[in-house]
Amino acid sequence: MKLSAKSMALTALFAALSALGAFLAIPAGPVSITLQTLFVLLAGILLGPRLGALSQLIYIALGLIGLPIFSGFSGGVFSVFKPSFGFLIGFIVAAYVVGILVEKYAKKSPVIAPDGSVSKGAYSFFKILLIALLGTVIIYLFGIPYMYIILTKVMHTDITISKAFQVGCLIFLPGDLLKTLMASLLGVKLLPKLRTR
C-alpha cells in the first residue's frame, strides 16, 4: 500500500491521538475510561478502512515495543496480559469495519437541482452514527471476552462472565454513546474536506 504524504500524516496523527486519549483516563476497575474510542471511530470514519486500522496498529505496536502510551502510562510486550488489551485489538478491527461501511453506505446520492446542476452527494449523519455504534459494539466484542480470560486464567480472579460484562461494558456505555455521537458529528462535518472521492 503506497501512501501519500497526506495519508502518512493523517495516519500518524490518529496514532498520536489514540495515545493522547489513553492519557486522559479515569480508573474504573480492570479497564480505565479514556477518550480512545472517539479517536478510533474517527480514524475509521475519516481515514477509511486501511489507514484507519493502520493508525491503530501503529499505536499498539509502539506501545508493545515499550513506549508508555497505553492507559496508565504503561507499555511493553507484557501489556498483552493486561485485562484491557483486548479492547486495543478491537480498536484495529473497529476502525477497519467502520471505514469499509462508511465508504460503502454513508454517502448520499447526488441531488439534481431544477436547473439541472448536480450537487455532490453529502454524507448521512444517521448512517454514520449507526456505523459508529457498530464500531463500538465490535470493540466490546473483543474487549470483554479477552478481559474475562485474562482475569480468570492469568490473574486467577473469581469473576463471572456477567460480572465481566458489567465492569467491562455497562459502566462505559453512557460515555461511549456520547463519544460515538461526537465522532459521528465530527465525521459528517470533516469527511467532505478529507475525501474527494
pLDDT tier for residue 112 given thresholds of 50, 70 and 90: low
- The SS3 assignment for 23 reads helix
Domains and CATH numbers, the chain: 5-190 (1.10.1760.20)
Stretch 164-180: mean pLDDT, rounded? 90
pLDDT surpasses 70 at 110: no
Percentage of residues in the chain having pLDDT higher than 70: 89
Compare 75 and 194 and report the one with higher pLDDT: 75
Task: State the pLDDT at residue 171.
Answer: 85
- Residue 102 CA to residue 132 CA, distance in Å, equals 9
Instruction: Render the burial of 131-165: b for 16+ CB within 10 Å, e for the rest.
Output: bbbebbebbbebbbebbbebbeeeeeeebeeeebe
Q: Beta-strand (E) ranges in 14-154?
A: 111-112, 118-119
Q: How many other C-beta atoms can be found within 10 angstroms of the C-beta atom of residue 75? A: 18
pLDDT tier for residue 197 given thresholds of 50, 70 and 90: very low
Cell matching residue 128: 454514520
pLDDT surpasses 80 at 7: yes
Stretch 148-172: mean pLDDT, rounded? 91
- The SS3 assignment for 72 reads coil
Give how far Cα 7 sits from Cα of 14, 116, 125, Å. Answer: 11, 35, 24
pLDDT tier for residue 71 given thresholds of 50, 70 and 90: confident
Task: State the pLDDT at residue 56.
Answer: 98
